[in-house]
Amino acid sequence: MEKYRINPANGLEFGLYTLGDHLPDPATGKRIPAAQRLKEIIELARLAEQAGIEFFSVGESHQEYFTTQAHSVVLSAIAQATERIKVSSSSTILSTLDPVRVFEDFATIDLISGGRAEIIAGRASRVGNFGLLGFDLIDYEALFEEKFELLLQINASGEKPLSWSGTYRAPLEEAVILPRPLNGSLPIWRAVGGTPASAAKAGMAGVPMMLAMLGGPVSSFKRTIELYREAARRSGNDPDQLPVGTTGFFHTAPTTQQALREMHPHIDEGMKLTNGRGFHASAFMQGGHPHNVMCVGSPQEVIDKILYQAEVFGHQRYIGQMDFGGVPFERMIRNIDTIGAVILPAVKKYTRQSSTT
């Protein structure tokens, strides 16, 4: 795991992620200026670091109601505003980007941050960027697979010249891709939306998997992780050396019922505006079940959920999304305070114990 900057002896790594949405608060119908939203994201990362949170990632989405289209620029600002927290994408939509430029950007962030940068590369759940950036959606799968393989080759090439040819990009002829990251290469993860085929491809490539979990029973995601590890093993990769991360909605309040009531309007309205369909209240309230992947509830309920998932999945990183849907910044600060004071100490205590038994 050390290759990916994760030490299992430290217990489950806890992080936060944002997609940079710029949505109105459903309670007021108003949304803050884009400049304020960006500054709050940077401040959120700084406060997360102070609370002991270990990882912060920013995604890109090229459509209305989002403001981190230039996510690498935002991550660079976070790298400058922080000292210890890992900084990453969540995810970089590699299908519509140039892998050479992606590597240059993140290697630069890595140097600015003192070796804290990572890439989580994904295919896009929202596909407005394809037409906007001049790509055909019919090539959705092929674009990503070719570009992801090139990104991995660039990462492994060091300062040696690299020659490469493919279908969707001009060839590289004895190209040296600079700058190089602080330690020569970057941790590169594959984002998986839950499809077995994508999980298997991550395993076959021998790269870490970041699994998106919006809702549903823990058992339904266990099989995806098992398929990933099985594919890694069959391809000659050691799954014990490949970390797994999970993502999902996060919110805590004094009681689970309050947490669900507070969070549902934001998730429901946010998904209506960005995906065209909401999150029905009855389905969302099922997120309060102890074995549902949504970490929404009282502090103790959230602790129990995270520990249960760690036992079932055997994963190394969890990152929560607590800012989707115009959530007021004051509520995010409250969440970070609770994470730092209550949730993180308990999660570390018990996952450290399990890692040494």
pTM, whole model, 2 decimals? Answer: 0.95
Residue 220's domain is classified under what CATH number? 3.20.20.30
For residue 282, pLDDT beyond 90 = no
Q: Where are the alpha helices (DSSP H) in 51-139?
A: 71-81, 99-113, 128-132
What is the model's pLDDT at position 272? 93
pLDDT band at 355 (very low <50, low <70, confident <90, very high): very low
Distance CA(231)–CA(128), nearest Å, equals 31
The whole-number average pLDDT for the span 19-27 is: 96
Expressed as residue numbers, the domain containing 227 is 2-355
For the chain, the distance separating the N- and C-terminal CA atoms, rounded to the nearest angstrom, is 18
For residue 357, pLDDT beyond 60 = no
What is the model's pLDDT at position 125? 66
The whole-number average pLDDT for the span 82-97 is: 95
For residue 296, pLDDT beyond 60 = yes
Distance CA(234)–CA(219), nearest Å, equals 23
The whole-number average pLDDT for the span 93-99 is: 94
Instruction: Convert the pLDDT of each residue in 341-354 to its tens digit.
Output: 999 999 999 999 64
C-beta separation of 19 from 68 below 8 A: yes
Place of tokens 């660079």: 76
What is the model's pLDDT at position 14? 98
Domains held by the chain: number: 1
Distance CA(38)–CA(35), nearest Å, equals 5
H or E element that contains 87: strand 86-89
Distance CA(356)–CA(1), nearest Å, equals 15
For residue 339, pLDDT beyond 90 = yes
**Which of 153-167, 228-242, 268-282 is the least confident region?**
268-282
168-171 contacts: CB < 8 A, separation 24 or more?
A: 168/139, 168/142, 168/143, 169/98, 169/99
**Which of 77-81, 142-146, 168-172, 283-287 is the least confident region?**
283-287
Distance CA(267)–CA(284), nearest Å, equals 9
Instruction: Convert the pLDDT of each residue in 128-156 to its tens digit.
Output: 777 778 888 788 899 999 999 999 999 99
Structure token digits, residue 160: 């040696």
Q: Could you count the other beta carbons within 10 Å of the beta carbon of residue 134? A: 8
Mean pLDDT value across the chain: 94
